[in-house]
Amino acid sequence: MSKQHRFPATDTALAADAPPADVTDGTLAGDVVHGLSATPKQLPSKYFYDARGSRLFERIMRLPVYYPTRVEARLLRRHARALLAALAPTGAPVELLELGSGDGRKTLALCREWLKAGANLSYRPMDISAQALERLGQRAARQLPSLAVHPLCGDYFRTWPLPQARRHQVALFLGSNLGNFTDAEAHRFLRRVRAHLRAGDSLLLGLDLRKDPRTVLAAYDDPEGVTAAFNLNLLRRLNRELGTDFDLAGFRHYATYCPLQGVAHSFLVSLRVQTVHSRALGQSFRFEPGEAIHTEQSQKYERAGVEAMASACGFALHAWFEDPELPYALVVCRARG
Ligand code: AVJ
């Protein structure tokens, strides 16, 4: 960190990511009881990202079969100047708000290009991981000492700073993270983003698009088993944090992609009949042979659907940058009046 930043109180998770309050209290324990009592069983994907899970996800991003990260970085590089013109057309100073910055590697490269183009830039990375923001601050201080960086740790919608009169707000939501939401959750999330913007402010989305089903499926079922380890790590986390006795060898990672809905699903499938007990919850959960826990969905989009979603959430689709080889899009949305 360039200066000593005090993070505001850390929140457990993205509010929009949490199930409606009437279903669970939004804690890990509440979500697990709810999810493992449901039919079919499910666990929220946001719980993948403990320290070990975050490291495994960093390994996923370097896998040859996991194309989204590389394709998105390439698009950001290729279109850096055009993105600036589309996102901040007036040339006013920019307040760049990134939702889920992680360690900010991709975004700092973009900031470098924008500073070169003469942009007046202030960067507010938001993340629920204090360690990731710490690394981002160090990276920024080393690589771009002239950039004003103000990290915000916790729930995006609670830490979102008040808009400054002279600054054009540009929100970033990259990495196709929107794809982890169901359609209803994605709409709710985008409406909440819109509520924090003024008319004329911008939002940049990075979204994975529909493509050869085999290419998508391979990205969620790598031969090295990193994705399997990432998925199974969820059970390891529950063993540690809720005192469950999941036998990781009793479950197997399974991924599917349905080209009709454009959704990749990940599951943990029980290989035998087994009962798992949680000390912290004082509760047991029975698994039948072949029974699945749904752990993640990753939506793959198409342009018409994105346009309709943006419009329903108070945005107009303003520009679309797509990779010619592997369908992936950077989508510039403008907040409508
Ligand atoms: C970070 C949510 C975009 O869905 O592609 C990668 C997470 N899961 N491999 C995705 C993930 C399995 C990733 N997102």
Distance between CA 90 and CA 271 in Å, rounded?
Answer: 58
- Ligand 1 neighbour 278 (Cβ under 6 A): no
d(CA 318, CA 9): 35
Bridge partners, residue 299, by sequence: 263
Q: In this predicted structure, what is the pLDDT of residue 132? A: 87
Written as six digits, the tokens of 126 are: 């938001």
Ligand 1 pocket test, candidate residues 54, 56, 57, most atoms within 8 A of CB: 57
What integer pLDDT is reported at residue 103 of this predicted model?
Answer: 83
At residue 4, the pLDDT reads: 33
CA 115 to ligand 1 center in whole angstroms: 30
Q: How far is the CA of 117 from the centre of ligand 1 (A)?
A: 32
> Which protein residue has the closest C-alpha to ligand 1 atom 9?
220
For a ligand 1 pocket test, name from 226, 298, 326, 328 the mutation site with the most ligand atoms within 8 angstroms of its C-beta: 298
Q: Which atom of ligand 1 is nearest to the CA of 298?
A: 4
CA distance 326 to 66: 12
How many Cα atoms within 13 Å fall on the side-chain side of residue 242?
Answer: 23
The verdict on the CB of residue 335 being under 6 Å from ligand 1 is: no
CA of 298 to the centre of ligand 1 (A): 7
By the 8 A CB rule, do 262 and 299 touch? Answer: yes
Q: Which pTM value belongs to this model?
A: 0.91
Rounded distance, CA 197 to CA 195, Å?
6
Helix (H, G, I), strand (E, B) or coil at 9: coil
Helical H segments across 21-176, by residue range = 28-37, 51-61, 67-78, 80-87, 105-116, 130-143, 156-159
Sign of CA dihedral 222, 227, 232, 236: positive
C-alpha of residue 266 to centroid of ligand 1, in Å: 10
pLDDT at position 142 is 95
Q: CA–CA separation, 40 vs 294, rounded Å?
A: 7
User: Which two three-digit tokens encode residue 72?
Assistant: 């998105």
CA of 283 to the centre of ligand 1 (A): 30
98 touches ligand 1 (CB under 6 Å):
no
Place of tokens 């990259």: 174
With a 6 A CB cut-off, is 125 part of the ligand 1 pocket?
no
Ranges in the chain, pLDDT < 70 = 1-23
Q: How far is the CA of 239 from the centre of ligand 1 (A)?
A: 22
3-state secondary structure of 162: coil
User: What is residue 23's predicted lDDT score, i.e. its pLDDT?
Assistant: 66
Residue whose CA is closest, atom 5 of ligand 1?
Answer: 298
The token pair at 225 is: 């088993």
Bond into 40 cis (ω within 30): yes
* C-beta separation of 211 from 326 below 8 A: yes
SS3 track for 263-296? EEEEEEEECCCEEEEECCCCEEEEECCCCEEEEE
